[in-house]
Chains A and B, each alone.
Chain A
């Protein structure tokens, strides 16, 4: 009798384990790491989930097929574009604790660089930039939430990596912000380049990609250092200002944000030791929706390249430039005198770019509104236009 009972319990337990193993997939193992990174990612920027993707890769690999089926189901359920048009709102996964990119202001509204791009998509698809519902997500939540179809697009300082593209059924679109891990020192420090930092003490957040990168890169270059680790930037910031460490390493965007709040002058070293391209992400398998999000995002950069911004938009109604007229959805007169409005077949209204610029602005507007305030400059950074030597380059709109 007793033995019988135990056997039955073991069977039930095994059943549970199997169930958990089958469905838990990468989120149970890989994301445990990712979550650590993610917590700090909230404070430090795009670095957060990055390791998660890499470490989660192995575990994610063998369960990829399960997830693949889910995605197929999703697509059969109809295009996200139709769903969004039907619901009249874009469900956007964002961040609520990342300075400059996604925060909650004192009125309780979301604001930030990433949040504005949610508005860009809503303005393009629905003609109303405020038709956005932002769901704040932790690093560990973002891919499962995207897969489950709860959010239509994920714009939450998520670094584009191969393992994520491969394992998370995620489709990474045009990079909106090129970030990277940098180093900050006090202005009066003798450290001018990373090589001078030999035997220096370096402040870093524990449990993040930042720390892993730091260990790997400095070991490669034969630079000895003492890591001084902290749980959050709230502890790290005063420690750095008090001189407990000579160098602070984090994402360059976040270093700039904190430098802007400090009373002491600081410098950022020229070396950037990692690539962190951040941009919108949609679920795999829905090409139409991916194109819509991609072109809405890229329209902000195209507008910038054309020199169209929120203020001067109305002056372009009588522009002579055919490219600009086509881009803004204005009537074009062809050689025979026929008027027509360009239709590029993306599933977007013809005036989508106009709506974006009118309601949210071009890339430069969005950047300056959210990131200039936290001490980031656009000119000369990787996020500058390709014509100015930056990396922002979009395919032609024709």
Chain B
């Protein structure tokens, strides 16, 4: 065996693969005719079951198809804009359009760069790897692509078609750019991606102290990372220099952002699918790091950390999300001083949703941490790794790998939980159905099922893709294969 640091040779890999293949039972793929005979029509009882359920299934499908084709989609056509972005003022529509283009370019760039990074790492270690083809990407994300095209097909003007086409084009271009750009830029892909995402929000919302704070936070970690690459004196001095510079940079960025006079539409005006996806993305991307910290905090030996984590997790998990939302929205303003400017409903909501998902993610991650054998930690410590490195390089990768299905389950649950935003008066995706069905032209026409079908497809496409991607990740990381 070669040492881990020297990498595996191509021969080793071929040998392992051959052995693994030999150990597996032979595949039992039958031609369709034989498969049907073996599974559907062997024996009297099975034939009856197959016929009865087959016909029942086909009948249901047939009537559903007839209903779907016959339904009157005028209500969706007329309200498409509300379904997508809520009550956004008509003369300000360029904002969400630009934002969509920016965010798609950013997603393309970041995913391209990260894919290339993984590709290069695999090449370095002589592992089999290749650039994902566009065909394979379309196959992976077909549900979302199909539903987006379906949604756009309801548009009555050309602009939405052009917008979606432009967004796809930017996604492709961004991905190719991310793949092709030099390694130094790619190494910073996460920070670049986060910055682009934030800027896409600021295009709509305008500059604010909240936006400045978020940009400052990204700057803080980015600059700290940059400074950390240089040679610094060790110990407290080095840490102070590193975070001191980062903090100064963050404050400068904050000051610049706040000083730029660019007004926009505060996110209290956002709605529709936009707000649903937006809260989900923020809830996941903020909740996950926070949740991991909580899980580590709960396993920590420091009594203050441990108590705080346990209290937070158990309080949040013991209370329904709906009551937390109502509390933040209705009760919190009564505690605040009267001349204190009240945060927007959505700000409070995102804080609540982040905290809520963090508490659940923390318990999932804790389960993963417990699954990592103690020997791993001990061996890492024995080889002289610092406490931080042990967690970051040895324990967490194994723990997180083990809990992918539960974690993605939590993400999907969070995505669907965003429908609760309607109880505090936010016009999220599902609530638009109620709003559309009381318009004078559609009142009492029994069109609720049509709108529900439309909305359900939207939820399904994203939830299904998340779940599919999680299974792909599991296979890739070999979860469940020993």
Contacts and interface: CB of A to CB of B under 8 A. Distances in A.
Interface of A: 12, 16, 23-24, 27, 42-43, 70, 73-74, 76-77, 96-100, 103-110, 135-138, 140-141, 144-145, 147-150, 233-234, 237-238, 257-258, 260-262, 373-374
25 contacts: A23-B331, A23-B335, A43-B438, A77-B338, A96-B435, A100-B440, A104-B82, A104-B87, A106-B81, A106-B436, A108-B88, A108-B90, A109-B87, A110-B87, A136-B427, A138-B423, A141-B329, A141-B330, A144-B331, A150-B333, A234-B448, A260-B444, A262-B444, A374-B440, A374-B443
A104 B427 CA distance: 10
A280 B297 CA distance: 51
A40 to B, nearest CB: 12
A261 to B, nearest CB: 3
B333 A12 contact: no
A96 B445 CA distance: 18
A97 B333 contact: no
A206 B435 CA distance: 21
A24 B331 contact: yes
Contacts, number: 97
Contact of B338 (A16, A141, A149, A237): A149
Given A73-B338, A140-B326, A237-B446, A108 B86 contact: yes
Contacts of B335: 23
A108 B331 contact: no
B437 interface: yes
Contacts of A77: 338-339
A8 to B, nearest CB: 9
A295 B97 CA distance: 43
Contact of A144 (B88, B334, B444, B445): B334
Contacts of A74: 338
Interface string B451-472: 0000000000000000000000
B89 A261 contact: no
B423 A261 contact: no
A99 B425 contact: no
B446 A238 contact: yes
B334 A97 contact: no
B157 interface: no
Contact of B82 (A42, A100, A108, A144): A108
Given A73-B338, A103-B439, A234-B437, 8 more contacts: A23-B335, A97-B435, A99-B443, A106-B436, A107-B81, A140-B330, A144-B334, A148-B334
B444 A103 contact: no
A136 B330 contact: no
B56 interface: no
A108 B81 contact: yes
Contacts of B445: 261
Interface in B405-439: 423-425, 427, 434-439
Q: Which of A106, A110, A137 has the most CB of B within 10 A?
A: A106
B334 A261 contact: no
Contacts of B87: 104, 108-110
Nearest to B435: A104
Contacts of B330: 27, 140-141, 144-145
Contacts of B86: 108
Nearest to B432: A104
